[in-house]
A = this chain, B = another copy of it.
């Protein structure tokens, strides 16, 4: 289940504090000139202000020759150059609150406790690279995400926020009823991002309390609608209006203070984890939302 997509498939790999993260992309058409600058730009947006700065140099192992895709699987590697695994030694037998430490341990019977292992946001580097390639295949379609709301930042605490995303230029008719609905696929793509805790199309939860006559998007003569409460999708299929959705992210779970951890013997222990973490990662999230949106859309378009 580390594969996303049916036509443009990415399989990601790598733990936070292992040798590298990366992915194999299967299904990218041949003859595409990859815009390496665009990839670098997206990677910079992802790492801006991050406490753990890495070079994030991408090594291309296959599928690309002279910067052009061959139609064969594209494998790439991003070395983990700046991991400080020692910081996590105190966690060898204890589980942080608000993290996946415990659930990974239960599921796998063991874990790479250094820095969140596979559940770390480090893994999103591979998604951003793949998303940047996917985006180059979406001619005439723009995807733009930005922070819509941020929690108030208190001293010694962390925050989350809401990211809104808008896809323009997507023709009507994209989506696959019943279980490949565009809104449902966007939902699972977004909820797969670390810290995502809510998703809504268009007017979303607000729509639930509107009356029908307030809610329905009235037609304009010739097509298009006055409002876009549905977020550009009807019956799981795009209607030609911009696709609009919002994603809620909970606050960073690693507090800049000691927290009570649950240890394997069932006892609680006050621990101060020195790993380097954002206080408010939501600023770095829009590029990941865009990447997942691109990966979602490209699977319908190809």
Contacts and interface: CB of A to CB of B under 8 A. Distances in A.
Contacts of A35: none
B15 A62 contact: yes
Given A157-B212, A157-B213, A211-B154, A117 B14 contact: no
A140 interface: no
A99 interface: yes
Given A210-B250, A251-B211, A62 B235 contact: no
A26 interface: yes
A215 interface: yes
A250 B72 contact: no
A259 B218 CA distance: 9
Contacts of A190: 187
A219 B268 contact: yes
A219 B97 contact: yes
Nearest to A269: B219
* Chain A residues touching B, range: 35 or more
A294 interface: no
A217 interface: yes
A105 to B, nearest CB: 9
A267 interface: yes
Contacts of A259: 216
A120 to B, nearest CB: 9
Interface string A160-198: 111000000000111111111101110111111010111
Contacts of A252: 212
Contacts of A207: 160, 197-198, 248, 250-251
A31 B108 CA distance: 8
A275 interface: no
Contacts of A180: 1
Interface string A254-280: 110101111000111000000000000
A160 B65 contact: no
A198 B197 contact: no
A71 B107 contact: yes
A1 B179 contact: yes
Interface stretch (A37-45, A46-54, A131-139, A225-233): A225-233
A83 interface: no
Interface string A77-118: 100000000000000000101111011101111111000011
5 contacts: A104-B235, A198-B207, A203-B250, A207-B250, A212-B254
Given A13-B63, A181-B192, A213-B257, 19 more contacts: A1-B178, A2-B72, A3-B11, A13-B73, A14-B75, A19-B62, A98-B216, A99-B234, A103-B233, A107-B175, A118-B178, A152-B209, A160-B207, A160-B212, A198-B204, A207-B250, A221-B266, A221-B268, A222-B266
